[in-house]
Amino acid sequence: MTELSKLGEQNDLVPRSIGRVLDLLEIVLEAGGCNLASAATAADLTPTTALRHLRALEARGYLERDGSGTFSAGPTLLRISATLHEAGPLGRLVTVAQPHLDALALATGESTYLVVLDGRVATYVACAESSRAIRHVGWVGQNVPLKGSAAGEAFANPGTTATRTGAVEADISAISLAISGTGALAVAVSVVGPSHRFTVRTMNQIERELRSVVDAIAQDLGLAHEEAAS
């Protein structure tokens, strides 16, 4: 079963009321902050229902609300996030992967990203920028759509490179390769840059460098080659 195919099964296991609360939490965090009306619309809930759930999250410190009524990440969530990032699996993953991202950016001349998938949402968590004047930047912390994107296709087919142009941003191409067997978070590496530089020749080179780096990250994480390519 691939990471993406687990989504329907996971949704069946989540009680509806809890799912609504988690949906609202994710909506607020992804937006960086939003008011009641926007959150309710995005979650397909009535304002009354949405407000009840948002107030519960606020009471526990997962969200906070300012004077204008905008909800954003609260102190409890920020504390947990900081703890997990520094000492948890994500922090270790970024620490292991960053030197390899740096080397891949140097070898390809394009920006490189580390992407994680929690079973529902793929997020860019680390980057090594290209040294070129015209380069791709700014995706760290952002979510990427699974449908139609290079990262989404890579997660659906671990061990196989996926290439897409214009899937997330116009005139931008991405080549991604995922690693399986990394635990709760599925992991992929993407090389991203202006489409005009992604010729057949350069894409072949990028794919070779990308596969080498993904294998190296898998080895540093203590994964067997079969796990990384399955």
What is the SS3 assignment for 226? helix
Query: Hey, how many other C-beta atoms are within 10 angstroms of the C-beta on 94?
Result: 15
d(CA 36, CA 47): 7
* Architecture (CATH level 2) of domain 6-81: Orthogonal Bundle (1.10)
Could you tell me the pTM of the whole model? Answer: 0.68
Burial 39-71 (b: 16+ CB within 10 A, else e): bbebbebeeeebbebbeebeeeebbbbeeeebb
pLDDT band at 225 (very low <50, low <70, confident <90, very high): very low
**DSSP 8-state code for residue 110:** S
Task: Locate the domains of the chain by residue range.
Answer: 6-81, 88-229
pLDDT for residue 98 is more than 90: yes
Report the residue count for the chain. 230
Considering the domain 88-229 in this protein, what is its CATH number? Answer: 3.30.450.40
Of 48-57, 60-69, 188-197, 219-228, the least confident: 219-228
State the pairing for strand pair 162-165/122-128. Answer: unpaired
Residue 212 has a pLDDT of 96
Residue of higher predicted confidence among 10 and 121: 121
- Cα 210 to Cα 105: distance, rounded to the nearest angstrom: 10
pLDDT at residue 5 is higher than 60:
no
